[in-house]
Amino acid sequence: MTTLHPFDPITPGEIQLAAKLLQASFPGVPLRYKKIDTQEPIKKEVVPYVEAERLGKPLPRKPTRLLQVLFHRLDTGAFHKALLNADTRSIVYAKELPKGVQGPADVDEIVEIEQLCLSHPAVQAEVAKLQLPAGATICNDPWIYGTDNANETRRLWQCYMYVIATDHPQNNHYSTPCRFSPVFDGVTKELVRMDYLPSGPDGTSTETQPWKPVETVQYAHDLLDTPLRTDLKPYIVQQPQGPSFDVKGNVVQWQKWRFRVGFNSREGMVIHNLTYDNRNVFYRLSVSEMTVPYGDPRAPFHRKQAFDVGDVGFGLTANQLALGCDCLGHIKYFDGYRADTQGNPVLLKNVICLHEQDNGLQHKHTNYRSGAATVVRNRQLVVQMICTVSNYEYIFAFIFDQAANIELEIRATGILSTVPFDNHKFGTTVPWGTNVGPGVMAPNHQHMFSFRMDPAIDGHNNTVYYEDSVPMPEDENNPYLVGYTTEQTVLGTSGTANTSVERHRVFKIRNDTKINPVTYKPISYKLQTSPSQMLLASPRSFGLKRAQFATKPIWVTKYRDDELFAAGEFTNQSQESEGVEKWAARNESVENDDVVLWHTFGLTHNPRVEDFPVMPMERVSVMLRPDGFFTKNPALDVPQSSQTFNQSTLHPEAAACCGPPAEIQKGKL
């Protein structure tokens, strides 16, 4: 039996085991691995185990350790999925998936397609037509193909081509997009088609012309034509007594919080088994999916719709973080592992970081009679992952504080996905994008995230409801017409709900069996949503059919194993999603039951020119806050903020030139 915890990420040994088991079951067949990872353990096996851990009771049988493998048979090209039992070192199943089901991109495949594209004679012929100046070369970003044809079953890649105008490791090729874009079959490696990109407001395109060099828009400091700022002074975070957290393996303890940091190649960072002061709060928190549809209507851009979780994976694209760049203070890093195409483990170093931060004041009150002030700062614990998805970066952080709040903060940064555009003539614009440089335009797009919350508010049976603030009727109970109350609506069966700013709608997760002794209402956590515009694509479009999670801000489903990803298991070139909308449609009772809450939110991102060549972060956040979970402010016992502890520095005053008269500086004044 393994020494691993059920929530521990996959180990190198398990990757090797999986490859060995599969190879043995396909003797002589060359296999290409796409993914070897843990399979989320079966909840009904895990709950008794983690409950025993929490209560300090004897541990029951450890949940089955399951592994999941996606692979291709190279002899037939067939795509397979296998489930393995690591405890018994056996294959539960290894099944061929239906034709047309496409697995996600993997790191090696992307590099492979990139090279295939660059070395293809047809591409080289187009490059030749560019008549590039000396020193300029070409690169390409292989893009997930997207969907516009219900009969397409090939695995396709659309390569967007760029001129590398400057030989520098941080040259911004997104400033110089080319006007041709080959499409490859990722299995047969054949060139399917050479697309020529539209470069004016209408959809028409032209044959490849000689490249007209333009001034590129660069972000690398070496390549700027202006000097760097010299007036920014160091700001150093010192934790002379070390951090306030304690980490053992993947278990983190900090300020009454305890949780396990999970990692998998698809979601990346996951929070498991979250407790506060040894009370259950959440079973699992993760960003379950995201989609980025573009609003440019012109072919082939209409197919640009990334599902960054399902199509690639935030685990695979997580940055290997470097000390002193991505965080300040005392930093703990977590590693992960992925498999390569041969089934060998690959270390993903420093893919998650953990550190504390100061977030200003948490609470303050001054008794104006006595002048006595209570001041408590808001120390936070940040679990962070930064993902590079080709051009774009996402910074994900789960932020915990001492008042039992949980924040999911997402920052969008990186480089806009650009298209070539004939904007050299003054005034040429399109209504679906922004000119960001000479010959280059950045189309409007949306970033829609799905935050999956599997609650355990003092137990695993919970109820989701929403609460609106509404004026009281204008009757004898409200004679002065200022009364307002709240109105509760229980989401008793699985389904959806809308946010509502007008009604100040708040979603809550309560435990109907635990009544707060002060409020006389069930204990709960509330979700402060981030009300967002939902998908703009037409309900008749593939774009929307594939991402139905992004048509409603709130979904509730009854928990079932294996229902983790809002747009379904396989998103790459999907025809329609098989995700949360299907599970919600079962109309199951979710009242006082094992309910899962999903929140879709995001950004409609109509680029600013200031977002280029690299984008100042756009921040979006949702919060989970206790609401009647405690009987009073849980941060009351945080020590007072004091100069002894904080050691701040007073700014030296310049010699007074026009200060107040001496008599005013003294006495009452």
Q: H or E segment at 604?
A: strand 595-605
In angstroms, what is the minimal distance from the CB of 405 to a second copy?
7
* Residue 424 or 586 having the CB closest to a second copy: 424
In angstroms, what is the minimal distance from the CB of 552 to a second copy?
12
Instruction: With CA atoms as reference, report the closest residue to 601 among 290, 283, 315, 387.
Output: 290
* Residue 119 or 646 having the CB closest to a second copy: 646
User: Which residue type is seen at 423?
Assistant: N
Q: Give yes or no for a contact between 509 and 464, defined as CB atoms under 8 angstroms apart.
A: yes
* Residue 94 or 164 having the CB closest to a second copy: 164
Extract the runs of DSSP E, i.e. beta strands, from 533-642.
Answer: 554-558, 595-605, 618-626
In angstroms, what is the minimal distance from the CB of 199 to a second copy?
16
* Residue 119 or 647 having the CB closest to a second copy: 647
* Residue 172 or 208 having the CB closest to a second copy: 172
In angstroms, what is the minimal distance from the CB of 104 to a second copy?
16
* Rg of the chain (C-alpha set): 28
In angstroms, what is the minimal distance from the CB of 213 to a second copy?
17
3-class state of residue 496 by DSSP: strand
In angstroms, what is the minimal distance from the CB of 549 to a second copy?
17
3-class state of residue 172 by DSSP: coil
Query: Is 196 a catalytic site residue?
Result: no
In angstroms, what is the minimal distance from the CB of 210 to a second copy?
24
Q: Give yes or no for a contact between 348 and 381, defined as CB atoms under 8 angstroms apart.
A: no
* Residue 359 or 461 having the CB closest to a second copy: 359
Instruction: With CA atoms as reference, report the closest residue to 613 among 478, 471, 437.
Output: 437
DSSP-H helix ranges across 93-211: 107-119, 121-130
* Residue 40 or 627 having the CB closest to a second copy: 627
User: What whole-number distance in Å separates Cα of residue 475 and Cα of residue 524?
Assistant: 32
DSSP at 223: G
In angstroms, what is the minimal distance from the CB of 337 to a second copy?
8
DSSP at 175: G
Identified catalytic residue from 8, 141, 296, 308: 308
User: What whole-number distance in Å separates Cα of residue 117 and Cα of residue 524?
Assistant: 54
Instruction: With CA atoms as reference, report the closest residue to 524 among 600, 455, 594.
Output: 455
User: What whole-number distance in Å separates Cα of residue 599 and Cα of residue 374?
Assistant: 36
Q: Is 517 exposed, middle or buried (0-12, 13-18, 19+ CB in 10 A)?
A: exposed
In angstroms, what is the minimal distance from the CB of 480 to a second copy?
4
Identified catalytic residue from 392, 466, 525, 559: 392
Extract the runs of DSSP E, i.e. beta strands, from 504-588.
Answer: 506-515, 522-528, 554-558
* Residue 101 or 346 having the CB closest to a second copy: 346
* Residue 327 or 580 having the CB closest to a second copy: 327
Q: H or E segment at 665?
A: helix 662-665
User: What whole-number distance in Å separates Cα of residue 482 and Cα of residue 634?
Assistant: 32
Query: Is 308 a catalytic site residue?
Result: yes
Q: Give yes or no for a contact between 109 and 144, defined as CB atoms under 8 angstroms apart.
A: no
In angstroms, what is the minimal distance from the CB of 49 to a second copy?
19
What's the half-sphere exposure (Cβ side, CA atoms, 13 Å) at 573? Answer: 22
Report CA-CA distances (Å) from 316 to 67, 88, 270, 547: 17, 28, 14, 22
Q: Is 389 exposed, middle or buried (0-12, 13-18, 19+ CB in 10 A)?
A: buried
Q: H or E segment at 348?
A: strand 345-366
Q: Angle at the Cα of 318 (from 578 to 264), degrees rounded to 5?
A: 50
Q: Give yes or no for a contact between 461 and 593, defined as CB atoms under 8 angstroms apart.
A: yes
Instruction: Collect all residues with Cβ–Cβ distance below 8 Å to 18 and sequence separation of at least 6.
Output: 36, 67, 69, 82, 84, 86, 339, 343
User: What whole-number distance in Å separates Cα of residue 177 and Cα of residue 197?
Assistant: 10
* Residue 388 or 493 having the CB closest to a second copy: 388
Please list the active-site residues.
308, 392
